[in-house]
Structure formats: C-alpha cells, structure tokens
Chains A and B, each alone.
Chain A
Amino acid sequence: MKLSQVKKGQVVKIARIPNEQVRSQAIRFGIGEGSIVICEEIIPAGPVILRKNRQEIAVGRGLAEEITIQAVS
C-alpha cells in the first residue's frame, strides 16, 4: 500500500522510501524505513500529516504516492 492511500487515524509502518535523499532525511526525522507512525490528518488531494510521538510532519501528496507502507493495526 502507498502512503497516499492511508486512512486517518491508521497506524502504519514505513516500508520503503525509494528516493535516496528523502530516505536519509526521513531517518533524521525519525520516520525512516521500519518506523511506526500514525496518520493524524489527510488534507484532501493534499499532504498527509504523520505523527511519531510528539513530532508532526506534513508529507506532500507526490511524495506520499512514492512511499510504501504496511498497515499495523
């Protein structure tokens, strides 16, 4: 499943980030491959808002379409 298909409130595991630079940046943010995050909000046709602990991160739609996730709950 892609991150762009996530539902609000869903807890997911980031499985694959293809873009190398984004992948490195995600590790720095703490949402790299393998991390568990919760989808806090979805702006219709716009960014997905992820939360890990107290960190909220907005991920643009185009990027979300590239990131693969696995549902956890």
Chain B
Amino acid sequence: MAHCHELGLKIDIPENGRKIVLAGNPNVGKSVFFNALTGLYVDVSNYPGTTLEISHGRYGKDAVIDTPGVYGISSFNDEERIARDVILAADVVVNVVDAVHLERDLFLTQQIIDTGVPVVMALNMVDEAARQGMEIDVKLLSELLGIPVVPTIAVQKEGLEELKKAIDRAKPGNISPELQSRLTRMATRVASQGEALLILEGDPVVAERHGLKPGPHREEIYLARRERVNYIVSKVIREISQGATFSTRLGRWMLRPVTGVPILAVTLYLMYKIIGVFVAGGVVGFTEETLMQGYYEPAIRGLVTKFMAEDSTLGQILIGEFGLLTMTVTYVLGLLLPLVVGFYLILSTLEDSGYLPRIAALVDRVLTAVGLNGRAVIPMILGFGCVTLATIVTRLLGSERERRIAIFLLALAIPCSAQLGVIAGMLAGLGAPYIALYVLVIFTVLVIVGTLLNYVLPGKSSDLLIDLPPLRLPRINNVLKKTGTKSFQFLQEATPIFALGALLISTLQVTGILEILQNLLAPLTVGWLNLPKESATAFIMGIVRRDFGAAGLTELSLDPMQTLVALITITLFVPCIAAMLVLFKERGKQEAPFIWIGSWIVAFLVGGTVAQLAKTYPNHAVTAVALSFTVLTVLTVLVIKNLKTRLALKANMAKEG
C-alpha cells in the first residue's frame, strides 16, 4: 500500500487548505461533481466502475480528490483499498449518494460516518427520484445521520452552490450506537478512529499496519449497520407511485435473450454501418484522398522541394513514400483521426446509456466458458476504443486470474478503434462472406485461446455480481466532451510514435535494409501467408502500432482472400508500443514479453492456416476455412471439458481413497 501513502504526499495542499474527498457508491455522480468543482475533466459514464484511479484537482485553496466508487470500505478489491486509504486521510468527505438507491448507498454513508471524519452529503439524482415517484425527507435524513444533506442534480449543476457552502459545515455524524463502546476501547491502542473501525471490521491490511490482529466481528457490525440504515430509509422515504416506465421496460428487453440478442445484433450492425461504411468509406474518402492527398501533400511537397531534391536522403525521409510530413500526417489526420472520433462518439453514447452492464449480464454465460464473467465485456468493448485504456479498465474484474485472461485476449484479438476502422473499411469492400469469415476466425481464436488459458491457469474465477444502473438518455454534452478528450489523447499519443515508425521505415528503405528484410521474411509472408513480399513492410509498421500496420495494408493490391489473411494476421499481431508500456506496468516483466511473443506466434499461425487452407481448396476457400475453424473450436472446447471432468473425478477418487 505504499502506493497510496505516496499518493497522499504527492498532492500538494496549500497551507490551511483541506483535503476534500468525494466518496460514494459506483455510478452516483462523483466524477460529475469533481469536474464541476475543479474545472477538470475526468470520465463520466453510466456503469459502475468508471473511475479506477484517483484524480485530484484544486477548488479554491483546497484539494479535491475523486475516488473509485465502492459499496463499502475494506480490502475486498483494489478500488476499495485505494478508496479506503484516501477516505481515511481526508479532512472532509463529500459523500455523493444516489437518491434512487438510498437503501444501498447509506450503508457506505454510515460506514464513513463511523470512521469519525467530517461528512457532508450530496443527495444526488433527485430528478430521477422525483420521476420515479419518491419523496425524501431531507431534513429528517440530515437529523438522523447528524450531517448536512444537500439535494442536488449534478448534471444540471443544481444544488452545487449550496453544496459548496455546506462543505464548511461538514461535521462528524451520529456513530452507530452499538459501535461506540467498542471504538472507545480500541481508541487506547489505535489513535485514528477510522483505522480503529476498520480493524474492528477485520480489515487485514489496516490491522497489520498497527501490528494487531484483524477483529472477528465484521459481519456483526455490518448487520447492525444494515439494520440502522434500513430503519433510517423507512423513516425518510415516501413512495408516491411505482409504475414501470419505458426505460425500465427497455432495460428488461435488453436482458431477455429473445429480445436482448437481436438488440445487441442491431447495435453492432449499426456500429459497423456507421464506422465501417459511413466513416471509413465516406468521411475518410474525403479527408484522406481529397483533403490530404489532394491538397495537403502536393502543397507540402512543393514547399519542401524548394529546399531539397525529393530523392535526396532527407527528401525521402520528409516527403517520400513513408515521409514524416506526407504519410505520417495523412495517416494520422486524414485516415485515423476521423475513425477514432467516430468510434468514441459511439462508445461514449453506449457508456452513457447504461447498456454496458446489461450486455454484461446477457453474455455472462458465454464468458464463463473462457474463465471470465460478464463484467469482462466492459473492458473488451472499451478495448475497441483503445486497448491501452482497456488494459487499465480490467482492474474492475474480480481476480488476478480474470485480469490475466482478459488482458491477454485484449492484447491478442481486440483491434483498437483506429485499426478496426481501417479493417472495417477494407472488409466492407470484400462483401458479406468475407466479413463473416473474418469475424468467425477472430471469434474462434478468442474462444480457443480463452478456453486454453482458463484450463491452464490455476484457481477459480469469480462469479458475476453487478448492479444494473437505470437506462438514461446519453447527454450530448458529456458524449462530445469525452470524444474530444479521448481523440485529443489519441493524437498526443499516436503522433510521436507514428513519426518514429515512419522515420524507422524510411531509414530502412533509404539504406536498402527494407528490401533485405522483405526478402528475408519472404518465406513467412510469401510462402506461408501467401502475400506479396511488400506486406513485410506493413508488419514491420505493425510492430510500432497495429493501426499503422493496418493502414500500410491499404497500399498493397491484394485479392480478397489475401486481404482477409493480411487483416486477420494484423489483427492478432503484437500490441502497439503504448499498450506494451501499460502491459509492463500492469503485468510486470515476465508476463508482458510473454504476451508480446505469444501474439506473434498466434498471429502467424492463424493467418497462415487460413492462407494454406485457401490454397488447398481454391474453389471452396471460404467454406473450407469456416468449417475448419468451427470444427477446431468445438474440438478444443470438448477436449478441455473432458479433461476437466476427468481431473475432477480423479480429485474425488483421491479424496475418497
């Protein structure tokens, strides 16, 4: 936990400034308040677990800290450990509470109050509570808890001014009566009431810090607290009506397979239509060909050739085939940026709607087969935006084992927005059978690798336990802001790496090494993958970034089957440099290189298999590939299942014998 303590030091707080901590259950609006108080932007979305890292900013002379949402503070998972330490070190806690889910949220409120820290409550989402026919007695709530309570609608900034004023009135609330004597006894040994509480509740980490044994009474304390909270809720809430609104019904439909699967299919189809056809075809056609290659490139060439010859070494590096000023700029701005913007528009809309947790419940069954649970669908879908980001989001998974599986699958088979955009655009030109085949191959690879990992890795994955937020109409404002932030980050991150990659390729070309490499790799590219030897350039570019590699493929003239092979191989190819950096950070020095090399092997193995099958059955190439991969997947799944049953039997026999 050294990390969290360092974190406390890192935030510099001016003299007599306070540490104001925003705390609350997941998905209640903490980050909206953080943005409003500090003027910064951190992600806001409608699913539990958006914030996974601490953010901090300034509000006047105070520091404001945004925390990951938790249902209680203890050591159950990473977010809780992080939130716990930040809350324990707070001067003031602003407890953000979802008025619609008061019963759930007040558990944390009471726990925070029991730590003895000064608290003020933002009773948020009162608009939704009113719409659902709930009336909350704010004054009574404040009296029962012993802290100021301010009703708010964070997204409309309603109640924000009142909340700011109330921060100065924050005070320690009414501690659960039955805890008082225990806390007093503990106080002789542990100075801070908050830490004393957590030790009583059996938190192993905090207990160890004080050299004490964690207390055995967690459940007793929890149950008493739950009872107190239920009592308070029964006093302050008055229900006026409880009709099922349209959004509740729609939410139900999304879950039920008969309607949920078609809804999911339509959503994915729309995404493909928008990204693959509209953006990749129409918009990029305009930005890449008309704007960049039509106007920008001739202009910059004209400018540069005033100073040097185009075929001089520097000329080639600047404005040649892989030129820093030509290709890099065209790819980044003309080709990839529109795709990235399009993607984030859709992803942000999905994130804001509350659909993601429902997809998680719907596909839970499928994911348990590969050792994950439904929650993993959230990082997987976000992976289509940016794998780097999604790798961090896997923190919301329940166990180390699940993270390991999810991260490997992400790094292996989930193409990021820029890459997927290029792929979707190229596939759209090939027609439906090839699109279906691409999806099938990538999907079967996911299933086979996931099943194998699930079998090989020791331990057991956790089961799904997730709360479903209400469906909401996405807020245009937030969607645009998020898209803007994310796209800007893409430019910031991708441009230097791209430039570096272009420089590398140009250098290789100018020195003639590229040609040698192409010939060297020919057995692999020409012999095994059945591609022209120039495709080696795309793969070398792909080592830098996969989207860069995919973009490189657009330059080659390939027949449909070759295009498919190239796309499959580049999809499964190594994660980009940025993703590798995060992988090293999140997974360490042993696992990260393993993932990198593993991707190489799988990519060429799968791509080559497809190419060889197509070569062997030239007249029925698509059918042959589809059939082989389906059979292979079914076989793998069956064999593993069989092995597992046998292992279980053996274990049972050993127990009995």
> Which A residues form the contact surface with B (CB < 8 A)?
20-25, 27-30, 32, 40-41, 43-47, 49, 52-63
A56 and B222: CB pair below 8 A?
Answer: no
Q: Does B120 contact A (CB under 8 A)?
A: no
| Listed A/B pairs (30) with beta-carbon separation below 8 Å | A23-B219, A24-B72, A24-B74, A27-B222, A28-B222, A32-B222, A40-B252, A43-B255, A43-B361, A43-B362, A43-B364, A46-B362, A47-B364, A47-B464, A49-B361, A53-B103, A54-B100, A54-B101, A54-B132, A56-B251, A56-B467, A57-B465, A57-B467, A58-B360, A58-B374, A58-B468, A59-B465, A60-B364, A60-B373, A63-B464
CA distance A47 to B464 in the complex (A): 8
Interface of chain B residues 237 through 262 with chain A (CB within 8 A): 251-252, 255-257, 260
CB closest residue in chain B, given A53: B103
> Which B residues form the contact surface with A (CB < 8 A)?
71-72, 74, 76, 100-101, 103-104, 107-108, 132, 218-219, 222-223, 226, 230, 251-252, 255-257, 260, 357, 360-362, 364-365, 368, 373-374, 463-468, 470
CA distance A28 to B230 in the complex (A): 11
A45 and B464: CB pair below 8 A?
Answer: no
CA distance A30 to B233 in the complex (A): 12
CB closest residue in chain B, given A26: B465
B467 and A60: CB pair below 8 A?
Answer: no
Note all chain B residues with C-beta closer than 8 A to A47: 361, 364-365, 374, 464
B101 and A57: CB pair below 8 A?
Answer: no
A27 and B362: CB pair below 8 A?
Answer: no
CB closest residue in chain A, given B111: A28
CA distance A22 to B465 in the complex (A): 9
CA distance A16 to B645 in the complex (A): 28
CB closest residue in chain B, given A66: B463
A62 and B368: CB pair below 8 A?
Answer: yes
Among B218, B256, B463, which residue has the most Cβ atoms of chain A within 10 A?
A: B463
Note all chain A residues with C-beta closer than 8 A to B74: 24
B374 and A61: CB pair below 8 A?
Answer: no
A25 and B71: CB pair below 8 A?
Answer: yes
Note all chain B residues with C-beta closer than 8 A to A20: 219
CB closest residue in chain A, given B230: A30
The 8 A-B pairs at the shortest CB distance, nearest first, are namely A60-B464, A60-B463, A63-B463, A46-B365, A58-B361, A28-B71, A56-B468, A62-B463
B215 CB, nearest partner CB in chain A, Å: 14
CA distance A18 to B336 in the complex (A): 51
CA distance A61 to B366 in the complex (A): 12
B366 CB, nearest partner CB in chain A, Å: 8
CB closest residue in chain A, given B464: A60
Among A41, A52, A53, which residue has the most Cβ atoms of chain B within 10 A?
A: A53
A52 and B256: CB pair below 8 A?
Answer: no
A43 and B257: CB pair below 8 A?
Answer: yes
B103 and A24: CB pair below 8 A?
Answer: no
Q: Given A27-B107, A41-B255, A58 and B463 touching (CB < 8 A)?
A: no
Among A55, A56, A61, which residue has the most Cβ atoms of chain B within 10 A?
A: A56
CB closest residue in chain B, given A31: B104
Note all chain A residues with C-beta closer than 8 A to B360: 58
Note all chain B residues with C-beta closer than 8 A to A32: 222-223, 226
A30 CB, nearest partner CB in chain B, Å: 5
CB closest residue in chain B, given A8: B256
CA distance A20 to B218 in the complex (A): 10
B104 and A60: CB pair below 8 A?
Answer: no
CB closest residue in chain B, given A56: B468
B222 and A43: CB pair below 8 A?
Answer: no
Note all chain B residues with C-beta closer than 8 A to A24: 72, 74, 76, 218-219, 222
Note all chain A residues with C-beta closer than 8 A to B368: 60-62
- Sample of 19 more A-B contacts, CB < 8 Å, known A22-B463, A27-B222, A29-B71: A20-B219, A24-B74, A24-B76, A25-B72, A25-B465, A27-B223, A28-B222, A29-B104, A30-B226, A41-B255, A46-B257, A46-B362, A47-B374, A47-B464, A54-B470, A59-B463, A60-B465, A63-B463, A63-B464
B453 CB, nearest partner CB in chain A, Å: 18
Note all chain B residues with C-beta closer than 8 A to A41: 252, 255-256
CA distance A22 to B463 in the complex (A): 10
Note all chain B residues with C-beta closer than 8 A to A45: 365
B361 and A46: CB pair below 8 A?
Answer: yes
A46 and B364: CB pair below 8 A?
Answer: yes
CA distance A57 to B373 in the complex (A): 14
CA distance A35 to B226 in the complex (A): 11
Note all chain A residues with C-beta closer than 8 A to B467: 29, 55-58
A70 CB, nearest partner CB in chain B, Å: 18
Note all chain B residues with C-beta closer than 8 A to A29: 71, 104, 467
CA distance A25 to B466 in the complex (A): 11
CA distance A43 to B252 in the complex (A): 11
CA distance A25 to B25 in the complex (A): 12
CB closest residue in chain B, given A57: B467
CB closest residue in chain A, given B258: A44
CA distance A32 to B466 in the complex (A): 15
Q: Given A49-B468, A54-B101, A60-B373, A28 and B108 touching (CB < 8 A)?
A: yes
CB closest residue in chain A, given B108: A28
CB closest residue in chain B, given A20: B219
CA distance A34 to B157 in the complex (A): 39
CB closest residue in chain A, given B468: A56
B22 CB, nearest partner CB in chain A, Å: 19
CA distance A46 to B118 in the complex (A): 43
CA distance A55 to B100 in the complex (A): 8
A54 CB, nearest partner CB in chain B, Å: 5
